[in-house]
Amino acid sequence: MTTRTTRRRVALSFLIVVLIAVFFVARLIDIQVIGASAYNEASAGKMSIPETVYGKRGDIVDSAGNLLATERTTYDVTVSPRNAKEFKRKTDSGEVTVTPQMAAKEIAAITKQSPDDIITIINDALAEDPNSDFAYVAKGVDVDAFTAINSLDIPWIYFEQNPSRAYPNGAVAGNLLGFVGSDGTPLAGLELGEQDCVGGVNGSQSYARGADGVRIPGSTAVTEAAKNGSTLKLTIHSDLQWFAQQALAATASSQNAKWGMTVVMEVKTGRLVVVADYPTFDPNNIDAYDPADRGSRAFTSPYEPGSTMKSLTAASLVDAGLVNPLSQIDSPQYIEFPNGAGFKDWGPHPANLTLQGVLSWSSNSGISQLGALLDPEKRYDYMTNFGLGQTTAVGFPGESAGLLRSWDQWDNQSFYTMLFGQGLTLTSIQMASAYATIGNGGLRAPVSLVESCTDADGKVTTPDQPEPVRVISAQAARTTVNMLENVVAHGWLADYINVPGYRIAAKTGTAEQSDGHGGYSDKFIVSLAVLFPADDPQYVVLTSLASPDSNSSASIVSDVNNLIKQIIKTEGVQPSTGKPVEYSDYY
Amino acid sequence: MSMARPLVSGRIAPGIEIVPPVRQLRAVTNNIGRKRRPKVFFATITVMTIFLISAAQILLSISTQSGAYEIAGLQQQVKDLGRTYQSATQDLDRMTSPQNIAQFAQALGMVGNSNPVYLRLSDSVVTGSASAARAGKNSVGSSDLVPNAMLTDLVAERDAAARATSDAQARQAHVPAPAANVSSDRAPAPASATVAVPSPQGIPSPTTH
């Protein structure tokens, strides 16, 4: 009996011990294995402080490496309204009491607010919630203001720091650069279009902090590494860009023009040296500008080019072997074609014109008769090869392809008017590229605005560019440049487009523009396209101005001449050699 | 010892009482002496070790702690220096902007000459006609045509500096000796001061060849 009782007791005890052990093991597995991640998370939330590691946005620089856009830290000044009471400050002359009014005055002097505004911010926050612990005093102050406010040692003022974008050159190339939102999201221009290059990727990390607020060494754990953006190098020359913008803005504002643009392109490479827009846009101060003026019209706003188009028509005709500079055409003041199309020339001129004379006098009747010699399908192919009707290789955000209808959709009037630049639209960049093609011996180089993208490790990537396109023969291109040089020499341009030692080829354009109601308005878009030096063209300059008071391209010629001189000085363009080829205007 | 005697005497036969106590005393004394020495030794070692470990731990903790403060201090210093660097580069970047340089150059009376003239070394031919640059003719125009919001502060600072300089000059010119009734801390009205930096409009045309 006694033995059995003892055995039972032992067995029971053993069972109880085993049960307890099983319970503990089960609980241990529950905590350590099943619920491990949840507990880890909860503990991390209680012990560690997470923080965002900002991936710095890359710089944007010009072709010489001058900074156009960079990342800066700005600070938001915040206040704890419920603690905004007077405090003691130690000064050299002993301890002084500083009232909230005095502190507000000190802050206001730095943030350029009124002291009353700051007091109002505090009072409003307290009126809404007497326990309010947070309100913004000023947003986006720079590091100098931050240092100044921080050194005031006001116990109820705190700071939040934010990465923000700064454009040290202001409106220089501002229309191209675009801008980013206050949260760092790219919103327009190259900031948006080249996000893959300049955009940084934010990372995160956490660390543990002691009771005294000091970070515990070695406790930093990187959850996700931040990635800094790369440096975007443009083909733009910022000094020339400024010069062109300044001259364009001066003329455009004195002529009350609606908008304008100046494009300078390297003939042989298709690199854009200047893309100046008017109105200019300073991305440091986005809100001060009309949304329509914040982009680059040179890329996004196509227009009917007018007579600058005649050079392309003439080049196509010469290349097709249908005409030469001395081909004769009876060019009346007013012409009506059998299909019903009709139009007139701008001013009186002799009717016995050669192709050279047609260009010199900018005769619509002359160029339309000659242009009609070319098969419409071929004409369309030439225009497409010149780059019309398609976006350029730049791929600028919002870039327009212009409007070039397929040859079988041309109506009777535009069949002829397209030959002198009405009834089709194109952007300044497309037109500059077409002139560069003529200057480059008939080879159209892809347009480029971005030179390279360099990452933090120094790895340089250049954008993929399509192959150059052969548009016209080198001989046809040379002949066209010669004719454009005669255009300058034979007309009123000679007095304005004139740089001693340099031969210059150019064509003006005065285009009718849509009034927005299906007709043409009485205001024109005036343009001037220049190739220089004419013996071996290096640069294209194209300036257009919409609705100037004078309604004439004479309003822009002296600006263009000054810009040519500036380019010659800045880029060290060699003077011309050889003599121009003379073609007569008349037969 | 006092416990040992009755135990021993109780177990040993009464006839042989004398010898065992003597032997016992010696043995016990020796035994106890021998056993005690190591105990004190080990105890001392143990206590010392514990003490040393605690001391080392405290020292280590203190040094870690102060290291943490040092790191925090240095990190703060890095932050402060970063801010100073940012402030300086910010000023440098905006000062190198074309707008600022053009304004400065104009204020100094510099005039752009846009007539390039070249001398060809091979045949000594001069291309272009050399003409003097004239103020106004090739003027870059008003500075607000290509605005730069980052220059606003800089311009204000420069104006303030120019005013301060001209004030100082004005004070020196008009008040040769410090008079007792002139309070030196009151600046003369800016309107009456002559501006130290010449304005682009008012400069005499320099003749350059």
Backbone angles phi, psi at B127, to 5 degrees: -100, 140
Given a contact cutoff of 8 angstroms between Cβ atoms, the answer to whether B114 and A565 are in contact is yes
Say if B118 is an interface residue toward chain A (CB within 8 Å). Answer: yes
Say if B182 is an interface residue toward chain A (CB within 8 Å). Answer: no
Say if B127 is an interface residue toward chain A (CB within 8 Å). Answer: yes
From residue A522, how far is each of A510, A525, A550 by CA, in Å?
12, 10, 12
DSSP string, A367-378: HHHHHTTS-HHH
Chain B residues whose beta carbon lies within 8 Å of the beta carbon of residue A238: 98
Q: CA A175, CA A263: separation in Å to the nearest integer?
A: 13
What letter does residue A201 receive in the DSSP assignment? B
Helix, strand, coil share (%) of chain B residues, nearest 5: 60, 5, 35
**Domain closes at, from A130, A150, A166:** A166
Using the beta-carbon criterion (under 8 Å), do A500 and B99 form an inter-chain contact? no
From residue A243, how far is each of A90, A299, A560, B96, B106 by CA, in Å?
53, 20, 11, 15, 14
Q: Identify the closest residue of chain A to B152 by CA–CA distance.
A: A170
CA distance A378 to chain B (A): 43
Say if A225 is an interface residue toward chain B (CB within 8 Å). Answer: no
What's residue B166's pLDDT? Answer: 72
Identity at A188, one-letter amino acid code: A
pLDDT over 60 (residue B35): no
Say if B83 is an interface residue toward chain A (CB within 8 Å). Answer: yes
What letter does residue A315 receive in the DSSP assignment? H
Using alpha carbons only, give the angle A329, A317, A387 rounded to the nearest 5 degrees: 140
Rg (CA), chain A: 35
Given a contact cutoff of 8 angstroms between Cβ atoms, the answer to whether A289 and A254 are in contact is no
Say if A566 is an interface residue toward chain B (CB within 8 Å). Answer: yes
Q: CA A476, CA A442: separation in Å to the nearest integer?
A: 8
pLDDT tier for residue B200 given thresholds of 50, 70 and 90: very low
Q: CA B14, CA B1: separation in Å to the nearest integer?
A: 20
How far does Cα A244 stand from its chain's mean position? 16
Q: How many domains does chain A have?
A: 2
**Among B97, B116, B140, beta carbon nearest to A170:** B97
The answer to whether the Cα torsion of B57, B60, B65, B68 is positive or negative is negative
pLDDT over 60 (residue B201): no
Q: CA B107, CA A66: separation in Å to the nearest integer?
A: 24
How far does Cα B128 stand from its chain's mean position? 56
What's residue A515's pLDDT? Answer: 78
Q: CA A359, CA A344: separation in Å to the nearest integer?
A: 15
Q: CA A366, CA A327: separation in Å to the nearest integer?
A: 11
What letter does residue A235 receive in the DSSP assignment? S
Q: CA A201, CA A327: separation in Å to the nearest integer?
A: 63
End-to-end CA distance of chain B: 125
What's residue B25's pLDDT? Answer: 55
What token pair was written down for B169?
Answer: 């000059």
What's residue B174's pLDDT? Answer: 56
**Among A170, A214, A243, beta carbon nearest to B72:** A214
Given a contact cutoff of 8 angstroms between Cβ atoms, the answer to whether B99 and A242 are in contact is yes
Residues in chain B, total? 209
Say if B198 is an interface residue toward chain A (CB within 8 Å). Answer: no
Report yes or no on A6 lying in a domain.
Answer: no
Given a contact cutoff of 8 angstroms between Cβ atoms, the answer to whether A526 and A551 are in contact is yes
What's residue B182's pLDDT? Answer: 38
What token pair was written down for A210?
Answer: 């002691």
- Give the mean pLDDT of chain A: 90
**Among B75, B102, B150, beta carbon nearest to A170:** B150
Chain B residues whose beta carbon lies within 8 Å of the beta carbon of residue A151: none
Given a contact cutoff of 8 angstroms between Cβ atoms, the answer to whether B166 and B196 are in contact is yes
A-B CB pairs within 8 A amount to 121
What's residue B67's pLDDT? Answer: 87
How far does Cα A490 stand from its chain's mean position? 38
Q: CA A125, CA A115: separation in Å to the nearest integer?
A: 16
Q: CA B131, CA B135: separation in Å to the nearest integer?
A: 13
Q: CA A107, CA B68: separation in Å to the nearest integer?
A: 33
Beta bridge mates, B118: B127
Say if B129 is an interface residue toward chain A (CB within 8 Å). Answer: yes
Q: B45-100 pLDDT, tens per residue? A: 999 999 999 999 999 999 988 888 898 899 889 988 988 998 899 889 888 999 88
Report yes or no on A412 lying in a domain.
Answer: yes
Q: CA A398, CA A541: separation in Å to the nearest integer?
A: 23
CA distance B104 to chain A (A): 15
A280 shares its domain with A398: yes
Q: Which residues contact A531 (CB under 8 A, 6 or more apart)?
A: A267, A435, A438, A439, A481, A484, A504, A505, A506, A537, A539, A540
**Among A67, A170, A569, beta carbon nearest to B116:** A569
A484 shares its domain with A356: yes
- Four-point Cα dihedral B78, B80, B81, B85, nearest 10: 130
CATH number of the domain enclosing A261: 3.40.710.10
What's residue A3's pLDDT? Answer: 79
**Domain span including residue A306:** 238-571
**Which ranges of A270-363 does DSSP label H, i.e. alpha helix?**
297-300, 310-319, 355-360
Taking alpha carbons only, the member of A239, A73, A144 closest to residue B91 is A144
Q: Identify the closest residue of chain B to A559 by CA–CA distance.
A: B138
How far does Cα A68 stand from its chain's mean position? 11
Say if A109 is an interface residue toward chain B (CB within 8 Å). Answer: no
Using the beta-carbon criterion (under 8 Å), do A166 and B90 form an inter-chain contact? yes
What's residue B209's pLDDT? Answer: 47
List chain B domain ranges: 4-95, 98-175+187-192
Chain B residues whose beta carbon lies within 8 Å of the beta carbon of residue A216: 68
What ipTM does the predicted assembly reach? 0.78
Work out whether strand A342-344 and strand A334-336 pair parallel, antiparallel, or are unpaired: antiparallel
pLDDT tier for residue B202 given thresholds of 50, 70 and 90: very low
pLDDT tier for residue B187 given thresholds of 50, 70 and 90: very low
Q: CA B162, CA B18: separation in Å to the nearest integer?
A: 121
Count of Cβ atoms closer than 10 Å to residue A429 Cβ: 29
Q: CA A469, CA B111: separation in Å to the nearest integer?
A: 44
Taking alpha carbons only, the member of B157, B171, B167 closest to residue B196 is B167
Q: CA A111, CA A201: separation in Å to the nearest integer?
A: 31
Say if A73 is an interface residue toward chain B (CB within 8 Å). Answer: yes
The answer to whether the Cα torsion of B88, B91, B94, B98 is positive or negative is negative
Work out whether strand A231-234 and strand A450-454 pair parallel, antiparallel, or are unpaired: antiparallel
Q: A140-158 pLDDT, tens per residue? A: 888 888 989 988 888 888 8
Chain A residues whose beta carbon lies within 8 Å of the beta carbon of residue B81: none
Q: Is A281 helix (H, G, I), strand (E, B) or coil?
A: coil
**Among A217, A250, A282, beta carbon nearest to B71:** A217
What is the pLDDT averaged over residues B2-18?
A: 50
Say if A280 is an interface residue toward chain B (CB within 8 Å). Answer: yes
Which residue of B146, B152, B157 is the best one to mutate when testing the A interface, meaning the one whose CB has the most A CBs within 10 A? B146
Compute mean pLDDT per 10 residues along chain A, 587 residues long, and list them: 83 96 94 86 72 86 93 88 86 85 89 88 88 86 89 88 89 94 88 92 80 69 85 95 93 92 96 95 91 93 94 96 94 92 88 94 94 94 96 94 94 93 95 97 96 92 94 96 95 90 92 81 91 95 93 88 91 89 93
Given a contact cutoff of 8 angstroms between Cβ atoms, the answer to whether A388 and A434 are in contact is yes
Q: Which residues contact A124 (CB under 8 A, 6 or more apart)?
A: A135
Say if B68 is an interface residue toward chain A (CB within 8 Å). Answer: yes
Identity at B133, one-letter amino acid code: A
* Helix (H) or strand (E) segment spanning residue B26: helix B19-95
Q: B130-142 pLDDT, tens per residue? A: 777 776 655 566 6
Say if A64 is an interface residue toward chain B (CB within 8 Å). Answer: no
pLDDT over 50 (residue B9): no
